[in-house]
Amino acid sequence: MGLPENEVAADNQRRRMEQLPESPVGGFIDGVISVARPAIAAGSAVAAVSTSGVTELAIAGSVVTGLGIVDWFRKLGTGKVNENLESLGQATEDALNRVERVLLEHGTSIDEIKRRMNSQGFKDGMASASLQALRTTQADRLKRLALILANGVKEGDLASENLDDMTRAAVELTDWDIFVLRKMYESQKSLLSNRYQSFGWSEQVGHVWADWNRIFGVNDEQHLKVRSALSRLQSVGLVAEAQTNFVKDGSLARQAFGLLPDGKKFYERLQEIAVEK
């Protein structure tokens, strides 16, 4: 006994969906249009002879149902997950190859390099990076994840909590955020080693921040863009408000933001591994 007609149609629809190419996007869209065309044509024919708005809405609904939106998302999602993990894996492998060469050049033993790469901390870091890789579609953020892992091996610093925080920040921050962080790193990294002096880190940051227009190289129209970046950097614990100055009438004059030790470490972990030629 054959299956009911609607189930056969559903099965045929699924079979057609399985034949859709996953990439390029243009090919996928062409395939979708090809699958949808019979349903759209049927809907148009019925709508043309119908004078009832209710009937037209019913046909429109049947077209959407026939497209298999859930299947599209499943196929696209699965394909992107695999693509991201493959890109992350390749980028990490390339970066680790450079790290191995650098460590050997500086006298680190093969056994020590193996120990770091086989450590639980590194495995946990790979797991964190894999999870964060599912949250982005941008290749440069996947590369950030790879560099964080590789530089962690290079520095012998693979604490799971630190890697969790850094991998999360790597996929949440924009290119503009990283630009602002770089400017703060260049202008304030030396202050972190002097923060225990009598005049204090906060006062030093306030002094440097007074020249923020020159540091960031932006005009007044980009002031809010800088503030937006500072808010995101502060939300992931890389910078903090260090000093707030008020004028005599009590109104806000300037808020100075300072680079934190975690911000310094994060920026350094994003750097490419240089190999001597």
Are 193 and 161 within one domain? Answer: no
**Rounded Cα–Cα distance for residues 127 and 168 (Å):** 12
CB 88 within 8 A of CB 98: no
Are 120 and 50 within one domain? Answer: no
Looking at residue 62, what is its pLDDT? 66
Within-domain flag for 72 = no
pTM, two decimals, is 0.71
**Rounded Cα–Cα distance for residues 68 and 63 (Å):** 9
Are 189 and 167 within one domain? Answer: no
Angle at which helix 139-155 crosses helix 69-105, to 10 degrees, equals: 30
Looking at residue 254, what is its pLDDT? 65
Are 30 and 92 within one domain? Answer: no
Within-domain flag for 256 = yes
Choosing from 140, 172, 204, the residue where a domain stops is 172
**Rounded Cα–Cα distance for residues 46 and 36 (Å):** 16
Within-domain flag for 273 = no
Are 135 and 155 within one domain? Answer: yes
Within-domain flag for 272 = no
Are 149 and 182 within one domain? Answer: no
| Domain range for 103 | 79-172
Within-domain flag for 74 = no
Maximum Cα interatomic distance, the chain, rounded to a whole number of Å: 90
**Rounded Cα–Cα distance for residues 117 and 96 (Å):** 9
Looking at residue 22, what is its pLDDT? 44
Within-domain flag for 213 = yes
Are 152 and 183 within one domain? Answer: no
Are 91 and 116 within one domain? Answer: yes
Looking at residue 106, what is its pLDDT? 93
Within-domain flag for 122 = yes
Instruction: Look up residue 225 and give its amino acid.
Output: K
Choosing from 67, 96, 114, the residue where a domain stops is 67
Are 205 and 252 within one domain? Answer: yes
Q: What is the CA radius of gyration of the chain?
A: 27
Are 257 and 224 within one domain? Answer: yes
Q: What is the pLDDT along the chain (277 residues), one digit of tens a residue?
A: 444 444 545 555 555 555 544 443 344 334 433 444 444 344 444 444 444 455 554 555 566 667 777 787 777 778 889 999 999 999 999 999 999 999 999 999 999 999 999 999 999 999 999 999 999 999 999 999 999 999 999 999 999 889 999 999 999 999 999 999 999 999 999 988 876 665 678 888 888 888 877 788 777 677 888 889 999 999 999 999 986 665 555 544 568 899 999 999 999 999 998 876 6
Choosing from 14, 34, 67, the residue where a domain stops is 67
Shortest CA distance to 159 belongs to which of 131, 114, 128, 113? Answer: 128
Are 166 and 186 within one domain? Answer: no
Domain count, the chain: 3
**Rounded Cα–Cα distance for residues 58 and 62 (Å):** 6
Are 164 and 222 within one domain? Answer: no
Q: Which residues contact 181 (CB under 8 A, 6 or more apart)?
A: 173, 229, 233, 238, 239, 259, 263, 266, 267
Within-domain flag for 73 = no
**Rounded Cα–Cα distance for residues 254 and 240 (Å):** 14
